[in-house]
Structure 1
Amino acid sequence: MSDDIVDQAEAFDAGVTTSRNDAAHRYELHVGTDLAVIIVFRELPGHIDLIHTETQEGFEGRGLARVLVRYALDDVVASGKRIIPHCPYVAKIVARNPDLYRQYTDVPEDEF
């Protein structure tokens, strides 16, 4: 087992859960029972517009937002819809992982 794999496993909290909350139009990441990160989305025909990512106070700097963004992006791809990354943080994750997400992404029209 490489050191990188051990470091990643140790950094990940087993009490972390991710889910899609359709009633609230957001993806959620909980640490135990605490809501730690949300991504607000808007469902459009053929698309999911990821609008805003917010990490709650006390949960910053732990990489939790990145975990939730990857979960949300994978969920959109699995649903057969396309990603609209209005949230700058989501757009940054898409740009850093072009082999995984670029082919499923439509750039927001208001970006140009």
Structure 2
Amino acid sequence: MSQDDSFHTDVSTRNNPELHQYEVRVGERLAGFLQYRQTPGRIDFMHTEVSSDFEGQGLGGVLAHFALDDVVAAGLRVVPHCPFVAAYLKKHHANDQFIDWP
């Protein structure tokens, strides 16, 4: 097993509403986060960051996918101010009907 494969065996995602961010963890380590601002009826995705230790492993996409599914399941609209999330949405069209482009 390569080092990259081992990172993907213990990946978890969660919403951390106290910090207004979605998080992706590898084991106990915070590997990345997606900051948001919630307003009535919508979530504005503001900034995504993946730690340099975990770049290039697809964790940003895992995080974006999880956050989008969570927001849509809650019946909210998505506003992608974050360039990473905007680029992700332009490649993945499953949630197009829930997006309000800024």
- The answer, yes or no, to whether TM exceeds 0.5 is yes
Task: Provide, for residues 69-109 of structure 1, a one-character-per-residue CA deviation record: whole Å limited to 9, x for no partner.
Answer: 000000010000000000011011111122x111100011x
Task: Provide, for residues 6-30 of structure 1, a one-character-per-residue CA deviation record: whole Å limited to 9, x for no partner.
Answer: xxxx687121000000000000000
How far apart are the structure 2 equivalents of 1:46 and 1:92?
23
- For 2:101, the equivalent position in structure 1 comes to 107
**8 A Cα contact 2:48 2:82, kept in partner:** yes
For residues 27-106 of structure 1, the aligned pairs below 5 Å read 27-98=22-93, 100-106=94-100
How far apart are the structure 1 equivalents of 2:6 and 2:71?
26
Instruction: Name which one, 1 or 2, has greater alpha-carbon Rg.
Output: 1
Runs of 4+ in 1 over 6 A off after TM superposition: none
The higher relative CO (CA closer than 8 Å, separation ≥ 6) is in 2
2:76 maps to a residue whose letter is K
1:107 maps to a residue whose letter is W
**8 A Cα contact 2:7 2:26, kept in partner:** no
**8 A Cα contact 2:14 2:22, kept in partner:** yes
In the alignment, structure 2 segments of 5+ residues that lack a partner are none
RMSD: 1.3
Task: Provide, for residues 40-63 of structure 1, a one-character-per-residue CA deviation record: whole Å limited to 9, x for no partner.
Answer: 000011000010000012110100
- For 1:4, the equivalent position in structure 2 comes to none
TM-score, length basis structure 2: 0.91
Percent identical: 45
1:31 maps to a residue whose letter is V
2:101 maps to a residue whose letter is V
